[in-house]
Structure 1
Amino acid sequence: MVFDTTYKNEDYNQQSLLLVGKSFRFIERIKQGGIGSSRLIIKSKSPKLDLGKLKFGEIDYGNIELRPRGIIVHYTSKLERFSWIIPYYRLVIYNSQFFSIHANGNCIQFLKNKNYSTNKKFIDKMIAIKNEYLNLSYYDS
């Protein structure tokens, strides 16, 4: 589900609690070494995720927030901020020429540049948490 979170949005708050749970507590955040990625440059988005009104040559940025039962991908388009809520059981990650996140027939692709390199440890942690939550011990991350 994608929500416009430029301003306070009660529907977003309710759905995020329902689908991915409350944010980690402060102590858990410290133990995990942080629950958010640094910013990533977006290469492309699915049409359903591309809610910006007009298209120009601007660069869109996004970041990923970990939650107990899923992730939230926050991204900006012009001055608007959007949040895409993805439970772990719907999350699919591809790491090829681009780093991409897929769920519910939608996808967002991030460039593999210097920002990706700094986020590699975070992405590995996200995959490990997903595998632990879904009890996917057969997957070697």
Structure 2
Amino acid sequence: MEAQGVNRIKTIIMMLFNTTDTNKDYLKESKDTVGKAFSFLEKIKMGGVGSGKLVIEEFSAKLQPEDLLASAINYATIVLRPRGIIVHFSNGSNRYSWIIPYYRLVIYNTRTFTIHANGHFIKCKRNKNYHDNKKFLDKMIDLKNDSLNLEYYDG
């Protein structure tokens, strides 16, 4: 019994959940950590809160599914929440959700588009999918800055 508790703590610290089936821990943790999903009206006002598909190039070791299909193209989508984001990705028939509060979110936009949090990352290709999502990604960065009240950087 204690080993299950340890695994759950590790999962919550990393905030990665298998959401192939309904996962009550994920539902509670996502609401507590990044807030409830935006209402229908808020989604319309914001012009949408979900990204299109981003092609995953690489996972950090702890995010990589154990049953990773090497031949499959893996995609990620990002959903905005009031206090953070949720990155969803699939591997075969399994779906995973990574909860990231804005205060832990770090983005690198170099040769790849990389999402970092708590020492883990997902690198996405900067291909047509990335460029199709550029407006959404800018909105995500603006929401992060607004939520963290980073106006002191504006000069």
| TM-score, shorter chain, exceeding 0.5 | yes
For this pair of structures, how many residues does the alignment match? 140
Structure 1 counterpart of 2:32? 18
Aligned residue identity for 1:26 = F
Aligned residue identity for 1:108 = I
Give per-residue Cα distances to partners, 1:22-43, cap 9 Å, x unaligned: 0001111001000000011000
CA RMSD of aligned residues (A): 1.1
Bigger Rg, structure 1 or 2: 2
Aligned residue identity for 1:27 = L
Structure 2 counterpart SS, 1:56: coil
Identity of aligned residues (%): 56
| Runs of 4+ with deviation above 4 angstroms | none
Structure 1 counterpart SS, 2:150: coil
User: Structure 1 54/117 Cα, relative in aligned 2: closer, same or farther at 3 Å?
Assistant: closer
Normalised to the residue count of structure 2, the TM-score between the two structures is 0.87
Higher percent of residues as helix: 2
**Partner of residue 123 from structure 1, selected from 137, 144, 149:** 137
Normalised to the residue count of structure 1, the TM-score between the two structures is 0.96
Whether 2:83 is the aligned partner of 1:69: answer yes
Consecutive unaligned residues in structure 2, runs of 5 or more:
1-14
Q: Confirm or deny: 8 A CA contact 1:52 1:78 kept in the other structure.
A: no
**Partner of residue 3 from structure 1, selected from 14, 17, 28:** 17
Consecutive unaligned residues in structure 1, runs of 5 or more:
none
